[in-house]
Amino acid sequence: MFKPISFQELGKDSSSFALRLGTQEFSPEELSVKQVGRKLRVSGKTEKKKEDEKGSYSYRCQEFRQEFDLPSDVDAETVTCSLVGGKLQIQAPRDKAVTDRKERVVLITLTSAPAITSSSGGAEGHLLLLRELPC
């Protein structure tokens, strides 16, 4: 069964760049955000073992990967991530652009309050396809 990962881009006309991804199927350890130059690479992979009452079991593997371009007015070094209520939130203030192409891992902070509070100017309805892989 394919389940989409929904995302919305927030703050297009504000002082910050922000994305929110629905990642409820993944634990914090199963998610990764990397920033390479002007791109953000977001991925998740989960494997779950399910056992029935007869002792049989099955594995379910899910994986997604999505790449986002950072706007030119965002300093890539200021990108932050947080995870709240199963939603991965990525944001950065808009001010200047840095053209450095080195790779860095963007740490995901587990919080109880959303880091992104405004949904004005957002475009909803975008979907990332989640695919199941054989284990």
What structural domains does the chain harbor? Answer: 4-132 (2.60.40.790)
Ranked by mean pLDDT, which of 16-25, 29-38, 116-125 comes out on top? 29-38
Contact 73, 67 (CB under 8 A): no
Mean pLDDT across the stretch 90-113?
Answer: 74
Residue 97: band (very low, low, confident or very high) from pLDDT cuts 50, 70, 90: very low
Residue 130: band (very low, low, confident or very high) from pLDDT cuts 50, 70, 90: very low
- What pLDDT was estimated at residue 43? 93
Residue 121: band (very low, low, confident or very high) from pLDDT cuts 50, 70, 90: very low
Mean pLDDT for the chain overall: 76
Sheet holding 16-22, edge to edge: 108-110, 80-84, 87-93, 16-22, 4-10, 123-129
- What pLDDT was estimated at residue 31? 93
How many whole angstroms separate alpha carbon 124 and alpha carbon 127? 9
Pairing of strands 87-93, 16-22: antiparallel
The percentage of the chain sitting over the pLDDT mark of 70, rounded to a whole number, equals: 69
pTM metric for this prediction: 0.61
pLDDT higher than threshold 60 for residue 129: no
The one-character DSSP state at 29 is G
